[in-house]
Amino acid sequence: MNSKSLFISVVLSSLFVMGDGATTLQKLPWSEELQEVLDRGLKTSGGTGVSAAVLVAGTGEWAGVSGISDVKTAECITPEMLFDVASVGKTFTAALALQLAEEGKLSLDDSLHKWLPDFPHISRTATVRQLLNHTSGISHFSKNPRYWSAVFATPDSLWTPLDVLAFVPEPRFPPGGGWHYSSTNYILLGMIIEKATGSALSEQLRSRILIPWRLKNTFPSLDSTASKSRVFAHPHFDLDGDGKLDDMGSLSRNSLFSSGWAAGPVVSTAEDLTRWAECLYGDHVLQKESLQQMTDFYRPTPGEPFLSGYGLGTADLTGELLGGEKVWGHLGWQPGSMTAMLYLPTHSVSIAVLINDNNEACITSLVVGLWGVVKKHL
């Protein structure tokens, strides 16, 4: 960790956290209105369950839940339940890569052949920067239908990065020749991070991000501590194609977590994600130049209607969704869950919404509704 990060970590610890990890930030005075958005939005959109949080720097924070985790037992969603945040985890992997670049352990202009052997359908001339912003041309492994068949055929299996790379289709274009969102890029980044540091990606996450920034409810996806001691929100997904959602709570997610690896490396809570957004985009985790590179957005981003640009592990979500407000962050999708982690730099506002199904209309209406309340009171 650089000296700036260490200093800020100490400062934030004194501001945000007491000895037992309880927050010292005051509760937002319009919390009842925010909760009403969750309850009403979930009901009108037919969602299953939601956990959400809002953090307004210098003002306060709020966390709320609504809906069901386990339909059979009527167990409700609780604020402590962990969710698979899927591709929102790319912000963590990108932050690690940028920290290593700050320390001279790698360069964003390094090509793959400097760090890794050759793989089929993967250009050895693609650079770390092109992996980070999805301009490498490398195809998304999940676009191969055989991948999904393999994941659900053996849900308890543990995949290696090499297992995942075997499913990568032919490249979309030469490196630098366009933009194509591909989680394969982040599998390769994870491999580079491990080689550059000589340690596991999970250890780098803990030592560089989770522990220093007091993200006590965020864990590497396959962390045994999280699996044994924490309750996960049940994901709901139509597994058999009959048009009805199936409760995946009893189904092992080892295959999904391990195959997604560095492309979705953590599970978390809504409250932790708002704090992560504030730390990352509030200029605490990275040096100023690195944050500027992270938010230097490549445009256009074809095939992604909510994105107006994509930087280094961060999406520009500015557009009609929140009335033209400048918005940075990331979205996540995995069978049985969707996540939005948003940061509005003009107002220093962080919003996180996690749902336990794939109801796009639901998560969209909740994000819009929460921002509507915040904007009214700013």
* pLDDT tens digit sequence for 356-365: 999 999 999 9
Instruction: Check whether 38 has a pLDDT greater than 60.
Output: yes
- Predicted local confidence at residue 223, as pLDDT: 83
Task: Find, among 55, 56, 50, the residue nearest to 37 by Cα.
Answer: 50
Read off the pLDDT of each residue in 324-328 and give the average, rounded to a whole number: 97
Which pLDDT value is given to residue 230? 81
pLDDT-based confidence at residue 222 (cuts at 50, 70, 90): confident
Percentage of the chain exceeding pLDDT 90: 90
Task: Using alpha carbons, select from 67, 64, 68, 92 the residue that is nearest to residue 80.
Answer: 64
Give, in words, the CATH class of 3-377: alpha beta
What pLDDT shows up at residue 25? 73
**What is the mean pLDDT of the segment spanning 312-339?**
96
Burial profile 271-309: b = 16 or more Cβ within 10 angstroms, e = fewer = bbbbbbbbbbbbbbbbbeebbebbbebbeebeebebbbb
Tell me how far apart the alpha carbons of residues 313 and 150 are, in angstroms, rounded to a whole number.
27
What residue has token string 């095939």? 303
pLDDT confidence bin for 3, thresholds 50/70/90: very low
The answer to whether the Cα torsion of 223, 200, 287, 95 is positive or negative is: negative
Q: How confident is the model at residue 9 (pLDDT cuts 50, 70, 90)?
A: very low
Tell whether the model's pLDDT for residue 8 goes beyond 60: no
Mean of per-residue pLDDT scores for the chain = 93
Mean pLDDT of 116-125: 97
pLDDT of 15 > 60? The answer is no
Query: pLDDT at position 12, please?
Result: 43
- Distance CA(269)–CA(288), nearest Å, equals 27
Cβ-based neighbours of 119, under 8 Å, separated by 6 or more: 165, 168
* Residue 235 phi, psi dihedral angles, 5° rounding: -80, 150
Cα distances (Å, whole numbers) of residue 262 to 121, 152, 197, 233, 277: 19, 20, 15, 21, 18
Asked if 258 contacts 222 with a C-beta cutoff of 8 angstroms, the reply is: yes
Lowest mean pLDDT among 9-18, 214-223, 230-239, 324-333: 9-18
Pick from 223-237, 274-288, 293-307, 340-354: least confident? 223-237
pLDDT confidence of residue 24:
56
Question: Which segment of 8-17, 19-28, 343-352 scores lowest on mean pLDDT?
Answer: 8-17
pLDDT, residue 4, reads 42
- pLDDT above 70 covers what percent of the chain? 92
Residue 278 has pLDDT above 70, yes or no: yes
What is the β-pairing status of strands 75-76 and 60-70? antiparallel
Q: Where are the domains of the chain?
A: 3-377
This prediction has a pTM of: 0.93
Q: Is the pLDDT of residue 348 over 70?
A: yes
Tell me the average pLDDT across 101-118: 98
Q: Is residue 279 classed as helix, strand or coil in its secondary structure?
A: helix
| E strand intervals along 239-314 | 246-247, 266-268, 309-310
pLDDT of 58 strictly over 70: yes
Top pLDDT among 4 and 98 is at: 98
49 within 8 A of 42, measured Cβ to Cβ: yes
Q: How confident is the model at residue 290 (pLDDT cuts 50, 70, 90)?
A: very high
